[in-house]
Amino acid sequence: MTRVLSGIQPTGQPQLGNYLGALRSWIALQDSADAFYCVVDLHALTVPGDAAELRSATMTMATLLLAAGLDPDRCTLFVQSHVPAHTQVAWLLECTASFGEMRRMTQWKDKSAKGGEEAARLGLLAYPALMAADIVLYDADRVPVGDDQRQHLELTRTLAERFNHRYGQTFKVPDALIPARGQGGRVMDLQEPTRKMSKSSDSPQGTVFLFDDPKDIERKIKRAVTDADDGPDAVRYDPAAKPGVSNLLDILATITGRTPDQVAAGYTRYGPLKADTASAVVELLAPIQARYRELASDPASVAKVLRAGAERANEVAAATAARAEAAIGLLPPG
Ligand code: AQP
């Protein structure tokens, strides 16, 4: 059976791009694959944050994942830091990667540019090696992610191949599983549609958070930046020339299971497109929010799911870590 693995950071509130780009595929894959999903709390340490907030955001994210449709009977859901093999193998991969290739990662360039390279945490530079470890530990065949993770997946493949070449066949080389163009793989910020929507962005008006109430969702989508075209073909899918409109078409198409061109054919003006997109998002999120409220009232049940998930994840990951340590030449404990 195909094995899949993916993770989400407990940084800020989950947003629509996380859902359309990744979580939707995670939920679908539970029926066709042996699926491992984790809240990657160690990745959250790469940027400044508060300890109590991190604990609470980790629980919130796990609860949200269950509310969105992950079923502990059909997937393994766990918290990354509950499985020590992740940091163990991350070090082996840091010693496989080069400083130069880490510096070329777009996320490093973007995020370190904010506060300057001097202040950026070393973990921010190194975390693609941790992400590679997350994946190879589970012998994952496929990794369902949004388009922004394409470069990190390429690096994971490179590191796995390099390790295998240097030390002998150890890791499976995974493939990324990214939604097709126009199917939610890159949801853009509603206010700055040339930038991807992001949990931790400083543009809350451009981000639809999964916990937003219907009024906020409608307001944000109705105020989404479009353009000044008003001709008969103003509503068309052209991400380069019309990023704002194309983003709305992408969102509505993904939710309703059509292509952006099919959706565009139904509109001549932006107002009705925005109104229908807002309604579709509200309808999509309402049941998730209701289920979240139920689950959040019983944190002990969520903790139990995470404990069981960590147990299964540990079994698989510890075996891979032992294999990798042996391959690289670490002396097994007596
Ligand atoms: N805008 C997006 N469109 C489609 N997919 C997206 N993803 C994130 N943003 C979009 C996908 O969501 C999954 C989980 O993301 P993550 O938590 O690992 O971190 P990220 O990619 O850096 O996402 P954010 O929301 O932008 O988080 P912060 O602000 O913390 O950096 C991934 O599969 C990602 O591709």
How is 68-82 classified by DSSP, letter by letter?
HT--TTTEEEEEGGG
Are residues 134 and 38 in contact, defined by beta-carbon separation less than 8 angstroms?
yes
The rounded distance, in Å, linking the Cα atoms of 24 and 70 is: 10
- Architecture per CATH, 3-183+299-328: 3-Layer(aba) Sandwich (3.40)
Are residues 219 and 204 in contact, defined by beta-carbon separation less than 8 angstroms?
no
Q: Which of these is catalytic: 114, 196, 222, 242?
A: 196
Q: What is the pLDDT of residue 271?
A: 96
Dist. CA 296 → ligand 1 center (Å): 23
Q: What is the pLDDT of residue 317?
A: 98
Q: What is the pLDDT of residue 97?
A: 98
Written as six digits, the tokens of 290 are 């209701």
* CA-closest residue to ligand 1 atom 10: 17
Q: What is the pLDDT of residue 122?
A: 96
Which of the 8 DSSP states describes residue 188? Answer: B
Domain ranges of the chain: 3-183+299-328, 204-293
CATH of domain 204-293: 1.10.240.10
Are residues 11 and 47 in contact, defined by beta-carbon separation less than 8 angstroms?
yes
Q: What is the pLDDT of residue 25?
A: 97
Which ligand 1 atom sits nearest the alpha carbon of residue 107?
Answer: 22
Which ligand 1 atom sits nearest the alpha carbon of residue 10?
Answer: 17
Residue ranges of the chain with per-residue pLDDT less than 50: none
In short, whether 247's Cβ falls inside 6 Å of ligand 1 is: no
Tell me if residue 114 is catalytic.
no
Q: Which of these is catalytic: 109, 111, 215, 274?
A: 111
pTM: 0.96
Beta-carbon neighbour count of residue 202 at 10 Å?
A: 8
**Residue 248: CA count within 13 A, CB half-sphere:** 32
Q: What is the pLDDT of residue 333?
A: 86
| DSSP states along 5-43 | EEEE--SS--BHHHIIIIIHHHHHHTTTSEEEEEE-HHH
Cα-atom radius of gyration of the chain, to the nearest Å? 21
Q: What is the pLDDT of residue 280?
A: 98
